[in-house]
Structure 1
């Protein structure tokens, strides 16, 4: 990109330098600084800013051509600007693409799901939870339908009691298989995926001019080639890759400790991307946009610059202080004499998954509880219909087979609701249970909410009154655990370590 001509006067009497200075002052406005995209869409934000200059169409074509996409079918297709929370799976593979990466990873690997982060964005876009999923988690991989190069479909059989990381690459599995595996484990539907390899860490860290990290003590690791002094360092390229790959230098030298290091690195890169040093430097922004779009492989639902720009705008609304990093709660695999793999911690994980499904922020749990209670009181304020007068159709949009029928049986036999009807499976799976009702059915909705233990967020009032014998519609979601079990989010956050993207910590 050619530099500006010095001293050239415009018709308004200002020099090019004056116009550039004015533009920089505009870019530094607090409102704009708050709306910056995160690590995996930083390049998209850069495109938005750079494309304001001449040659925008050429830049659009260039960046759009950089993207690789994979059609994962119905594994994820939600609109990024639609209502409701967003769940985006970030996959880092061990595929050895790119110059200088021949010595890394599993030789000949098609790329396994080596690093995995489920990024949950709240419905109001004020907060997010980034949950790391250990690659050595023993789990079940469900059957997976994949698209073949000739357009045909192939069903890859599922596997029992295997490592999570082989949900990608093994036997031809694509990222859609990893998305389905996440749903199998957590009960959370994954809307989109973004996948990067080793090269992305090197190119993105270099494009932003380096990422600041902190070490509690000096490290010299012959395996990853990480060689850094104690204290703060700025790393990029090979050093950045060595930092996120090392697992013999910190904590118990396990993959779980490496996850903490990767979370620290990502948090630091987010802070660097939204710093004035990056956002006011056109050359750096161009390099970042080019590197990010080249690094990304995404699902076809977000496989264009326009769609990624929409996603960047959604993610850019989140303040970094409200981004929490956590690791899926796990325990050592009891089936192994000397455990090298892990299994889901049944108590703590259930609590965390429930919080994410109910869209409760880990950073503002108390505030969310108070707001939810206030909303609950407002929605449920008023008369209750008698159980015999409650008319409801029940659909199953969750994962428990026969849930709609079981719920109708429970409502009729134990709650005295004879006008409840089993409508079998819903048109699509949903994460959270909903109750749709008309304004003149509010008393029925309140009564059913009391019986089911529905949170205020589950109640969806329509705009027109019901006519005749029209029934309310109760659609059970992934948060449904069984007839008679209250459908509410947990009152408190699980007792698990968490970190903030807004705060730097020294690796120990």
Structure 2
């Protein structure tokens, strides 16, 4: 984002103070966690230019113009983290090609509270049926949207700009930043990152054996290598009710475990490990203009050192089975409003917001600790 748009969305006027560099914090609340945390010390010599060259950017401000929630000055920050299987196409920085082959299967809104010592993360299920606003699709064209559209189609239709606009319309919150991780190119990189960290430790309360993801874990403590970690975050059929909601819960549990591992191995104190991880991870990232260089990304990553896993509240957007399609989910309107209103006011998400949600009731969330 540009310098004059670094505030976050609110239903009010005013602008947020530009946060000090040392206060910039977590931007790694989804798959991109592994791709960003290592950037704190990477900024010297030819490595600086090499890492900058790895990054791709998208100009969200130019694409969306003024049709966005207002900025306010309360010290918090919101980031949309998206996982896609494409890095765009013929429509350039506005999104994928007109063939609509790109998809986004993981979406998280990361809210950093004032002071950037705590965070809330809201996962949005890909199959959520919601209203999609009119979106730019490149070459001067727009998509009209509609009242009932599947959430992850926003990226397919209009790329990053449409995904951001859809989330902003759902929440009433302006996204300060955007981070996209390309899963197609990230699979090998993801495994390399986990292996470079020496694996990630998780404890499973039950055995997990999933043929689709090739994961076979015994109950109890497990130290996952890159291949196993990739299998875990892709596992769906063999946990909980077999839906995407269960996979989201596994991803949330893994992210917390990953953060613990990053802190325990001293990534920021090992220049070689840091640069190896940075070179691998930045190749899979697309960011908004405001994060489109190593110096800016490093400021965010350094802030992660002050946030522990227990300082992150992770939920799934409150949903229920869609009454018109059992294979889809629909937001619980009252409960979803509680979530967005809490973040809008920079407050913790209340427990009653998720009490009746299918997304946080499943058994998958208790399998990995």
- Please confirm whether the aligned pair reaches a TM-score higher than 0.5, indicating the same fold: yes
Contact 1:214 1:505 in 2 (8 A): no
Residue 350, structure 1, aligned to residue 337, structure 2: yes
5+ long unaligned stretches in structure 2? 1-22, 89-98
Count of residue correspondences:
319
Match of 1:194 in 2: 179
Contact 1:88 1:194 in 2 (8 A): yes
Q: C-alpha deviations, 1:78-121, integer Å up to 9, x for none? A: 9xxx8632110111123499xxxxxxxxxx97331201110011
Match of 1:178 in 2: 163
Match of 2:253 in 1: 264
Residue 119, structure 1, aligned to residue 110, structure 2: yes
Match of 1:507 in 2: 368
What CA distance in whole angstroms lies between the structure 2 residues aligned with 1:96 and 1:145?
A: 17
Alpha carbons of structure 1 residues 37 and 163: separation in structure 2 relative to 1, 3 Å: closer
- 1:58-207 aligned within 5 A: 58-74=46-62, 75=64, 84-95=75-86, 110-146=101-137, 148=138, 153-170=140-157, 173-198=158-183, 199-200=185-186, 201-207=190-196
5+ long unaligned stretches in structure 1? 1-33, 98-107, 366-491
Contact 1:138 1:163 in 2 (8 A): yes
Specify the SS of the correspondent of 2:152: helix
Specify the SS of the correspondent of 2:202: strand
How far the C-alpha of 1:48 sits from its partner, in A, is 3.4
Alignment partner for residue 263 of structure 2, among 274, 286, 290?
274
How far the C-alpha of 1:354 sits from its partner, in A, is 0.9
The farther-off stretch of 201-210 and 246-255 is: 201-210
Alpha carbons of structure 1 residues 44 and 178: separation in structure 2 relative to 1, 3 Å: closer
Larger Rg: 1 or 2? 1
Match of 1:49 in 2: 41
What CA distance in whole angstroms lies between the structure 1 residues aligned with 2:256 and 2:300?
A: 19
What CA distance in whole angstroms lies between the structure 1 residues aligned with 2:34 and 2:368?
A: 25
TM-score by length of 2: 0.76
TM-score by length of 1: 0.57
What CA distance in whole angstroms lies between the structure 2 residues aligned with 1:140 and 1:357?
A: 20
Specify the SS of the correspondent of 1:174: helix
Contact 1:93 1:196 in 2 (8 A): yes
What CA distance in whole angstroms lies between the structure 2 residues aligned with 1:256 and 1:213?
A: 20
How far the C-alpha of 1:324 sits from its partner, in A, is 0.6
- Taking only aligned residues, the RMSD between alpha carbons, in angstroms, comes to 3.2
Contact 2:213 2:235 in 1 (8 A): yes
Q: Which has the higher contact order (CA 8 A, sep 6+)?
A: 2
How far the C-alpha of 1:183 sits from its partner, in A, is 1.4
